[in-house]
Amino acid sequence: KAKYKQQKQLGEGGCGSVFAGYRKADHLPVSDTHTCSCTHKHTHTPYGHNVLIKVLFVSLGTSAPVSLLDWYDLGQKLILVLERPVPCEDLFTYLEVKRGTIQEEEAKVSYWRILCVGRQLWSRIFHRDIKLENILIETGSDVPRVRLIDFGLSCFFKKRSVFQDFYGTCDHIPPEYYSHFTYSASPTTVWQVGVVLFEIRHLPHLTPNLESFSPDCQDFLKMCLTKLPARRPTLEQLQLHPWIIYEESKDKSSENKTLPCYVI
């Protein structure tokens, strides 16, 4: 309380709440995440401490995708204080402002920035709930920056990890869960990546209309939404897809080598 001023609540999940606030010394906008000590069945790790480990992990390295300002362990509660981008809105709200759809080129730019998060994160951490509401668009610059948020359901995983209890959004459940009641981290992430891309283009009615997609985009989407998980591409393969690779080549030719994607 001496260092930060807490303001309105921004959101609430099964294991905690997020509040807006600012640092008193310089009025830097922050978000305060209050988590309780619930656990995941597959990790048996206290939820708050597990999240802290993950936040610290993705904060390391030259690209430093997140700004963790402070943390307070209060026993049954853990408080994480992170930088809060202003102005910003989640991708669902961003699409509503765009009246439900955006042009494919804009979707491709944003989508490449979403995938670049995977270079820092998805090889070890299973987000479990990639959806429009968990993708934050920072709208204060000419090229909107993208942040992946809400790791309340996420966990560490090993390459051959198999999960039985599904955590996340029902509409984004992969088909293998309905047939075998099991799922794996990487194929599920790819499936959810495909669902989000489809929603970006067709949020109002969510009915197939592939004719409005370019051939490369159609191929990218079909690969993500392949029914059999073993036949879906890996995240690394998606990053090399022709629909995406052009954006990556443009970024590499840019003078600014810092990836404009973040995890909070």
Q: Which residues are catalytic?
A: 129
Query: In terms of Cα–Cα distance, which of 38, 71, 260 is closest to 155?
Result: 38
Angle (CA) 60 140 172, round 5°:
65
* Cβ atoms within 10 Å, residue 92: 15
At 180, phi and psi to the nearest 5?
-125, -5
The answer for 104, left when phi > 0, alpha when psi is -120 to 50, beta otherwise, is alpha
* Cβ atoms within 10 Å, residue 261: 22
Q: Which residues are annotated as a binding site for ATP?
A: 10-18, 83, 90
* Greatest CA separation for the chain: 57
